[in-house]
Homo-oligomer: A and B are copies of this chain.
Amino acid sequence: MRLLVVEDESRLAFALQRGLQAEGFAVDVESTGPAGLDAARHGGYDAMILDVMLPGLSGYEVVRRLRAEEHWLPVLMLSAKDGEYDQADGLDCGADDYLTKPFSYVVLLARLRALLRRGAPERPTVLTVGDLRLDPARRRVTRADVEVALTTREYALLDYLMRRPGEVVSKTELLDHVWDASLDTAPNAVEVYVGYLRRKIGRDRLETVRGAGYRLA
Task: With A22-B173, A137-B168, A139-B212 as known contacts, state yes or no: A96 contacts B97, CB within 8 Å.
Answer: yes
Q: Does A156 contact B (CB under 8 A)?
A: yes
B-side contacts of A151, CB under 8 Å: 210-211
Smallest Cβ-Cβ distance to A213: which chain B residue:
B139
CB nearest neighbor in B for A100:
B91
Residue A25 is within 8 A (CB to CB) of chain B in the complex: no
Q: Known contacts A110-B136, A152-B212, A167-B138; decide if A15 and B91 are in contact (CB<8 Å).
A: no
Within 8 Å of chain B (Cβ to Cβ): is A34? no
Q: How far is A87 from B121 in the complex, measured between Cα atoms in Å? A: 25
* CB of A43 within 8 Å of the partner chain: no
- Would you call A182 and B11 a contact (CB within 8 A)? yes
Task: Check if B106 sits within 8 Å of A159, measured CB to CB.
Answer: yes
Residue of B nearest to A121 (CB): B117
A215 within 8 A of B: yes
CB-CB under 8 A from A166, the residues of chain B are 138
User: Contact check: which of B122, B139, B178 meets A215 at CB < 8 Å?
Assistant: B139
Chain B residues whose C-beta falls within 8 Å of the C-beta of A117 in the assembled complex: 96, 118, 121, 123
Q: A180: which B residues are within 8 A, CB to CB? A: 105
Residue from B72, B114, B155, B215 in contact with A91 in the complex, judged by beta carbons closer than 8 Å = B114
A59-73 vs B: 1/0 string, CB under 8 Å?
A: 000000001000010
Which residues of chain B are within 8 angstroms of A181 by Cβ–Cβ distance?
15, 19, 105
Q: Verify if A109 is at the interface (C-beta below 8 Å from B).
A: yes
Q: Does A193 contact B (CB under 8 A)?
A: no
Contact of A111 among B91, B121, B138, B215 (CB under 8 A): B91
A38 at interface (Cβ–Cβ under 8 A)?
Answer: no
B87 in contact with A160 (CB, 8 Å): no
A residues at B contact (CB < 8 Å): 11, 15, 18-19, 22, 67, 72, 74, 81, 87-88, 91-92, 94, 96-100, 103-107, 109-111, 113-114, 117-123, 136-140, 151-152, 155-156, 159-160, 166-168, 173, 176-178, 180-182, 209-213, 215
